[in-house]
Amino acid sequence: MAIEAPKTRRGESSRAVILQAALDLFQERGYEATTMRAIAERAGVSLGGSYHYFPSKEHLVLEFYRHTHELHSAAIAPLLLREKDLAARLRGTMRAVIVTCEPFHAVAGSIFSTVANPSSPLNPFGAAAKPLRDEVVALYADVVRGSDARIPADVADMLPLTLWLYQMGILYFWIFDRSPGRLRTLEVIDETTDLIVRLIGLANLPVLRGSRKRVLGLMRSIVEGQIA
């Protein structure tokens, strides 16, 4: 379900207008009730023109995923360049997820109600989402690799994917968070990132080596059975 990037500035502008129209309608009507025809009418383009850029509603949602990921990557780049402490890197990265997604909070629930279905082609664990999922996992590999933390090799190998799953959990909490400025989500991030880094530190203890291997083996078996 890859989408070919537009080759002209006009094409980029048209894509942006269509995506914004889709997000507005998802918010107003819900994902399922919104049609490609309605999106084209709202965007002021022909139905054929909308299909040229986005062959389906699923492509629009995948574009939304990519748009927020690109915003997130740009937002954390300065942090990752200057900061070496793993707790600070992870906390800043997770907080930036919420900050960059916040303008889309109203529409996120409508989209999530569809993508949460395991049979949905938009499921973040599915094949259609794999290219972008791999990019997000690679971002967390950079978060880990650029830190000065001492992390066992087997933990470091599994950690980026685990942090992507953690991000998914944080976003789920954020969707339902009605606190002012989503402060409760930010508090959860601060509390849990510190806990994660402490647990990573404990993984270095020789006495926990056997338990660590069992936990990592269990995690691998679960992930391999669920992610395409």
Tally the domains of the chain: 2
Residue 197: which of 71, 84, 105 has the closest Cα?
84
pLDDT of residue 37: 95
Whether 77 and 25 map to the same domain: the answer is: no
Query: What's the average pLDDT block by block, 10 residues per block, for the chain (228 residues)?
Result: 55 90 89 92 94 90 90 96 97 96 88 76 82 94 95 90 94 94 96 93 76 78 70
pLDDT of residue 2: 45
Whether 131 and 184 map to the same domain: the answer is: yes
pLDDT of residue 211: 78
Q: Taking a C-beta distance cutoff of 8 angstroms, is the pair 212, 155 a contact?
A: yes
Final residue of a structural domain among 55, 74, 100:
55
Whether 19 and 122 map to the same domain: the answer is: no
pLDDT of residue 25: 92
Whether 128 and 176 map to the same domain: the answer is: yes
How distant is the alpha carbon of residue 143 from its chain centre?
15
pLDDT of residue 68: 92
Whether 7 and 72 map to the same domain: the answer is: no
Q: Taking a C-beta distance cutoff of 8 angstroms, is the pair 26, 74 a contact?
A: no
pLDDT of residue 12: 85
pLDDT of residue 124: 83
Tell me how far apart the alpha carbons of residues 144 and 87 are, in angstroms, rounded to a whole number: 10
Final residue of a structural domain among 55, 78, 96:
55
How distant is the alpha carbon of residue 93 from its chain centre?
11
8: CATH: 1.10.10.60
Whether 9 and 111 map to the same domain: the answer is: no
147: CATH: 1.10.357.10
Whether 44 and 78 map to the same domain: the answer is: no
Whether 65 and 49 map to the same domain: the answer is: no
Domain extent at residue 154: 57-226
Whether 98 and 6 map to the same domain: the answer is: no
pTM: 0.85
Q: Taking a C-beta distance cutoff of 8 angstroms, is the pair 34, 163 a contact?
A: no
Whether 32 and 103 map to the same domain: the answer is: no
pLDDT of residue 215: 79
- Please name the helix (run of DSSP H) or strand (run of DSSP E) that holds residue 71, with its range, or none: helix 57-82
Tell me how far apart the alpha carbons of residues 53 and 56 are, in angstroms, rounded to a whole number: 9
Q: Taking a C-beta distance cutoff of 8 angstroms, is the pair 151, 159 a contact?
A: yes
Final residue of a structural domain among 39, 55, 71:
55
Whether 160 and 100 map to the same domain: the answer is: yes
Whether 45 and 145 map to the same domain: the answer is: no
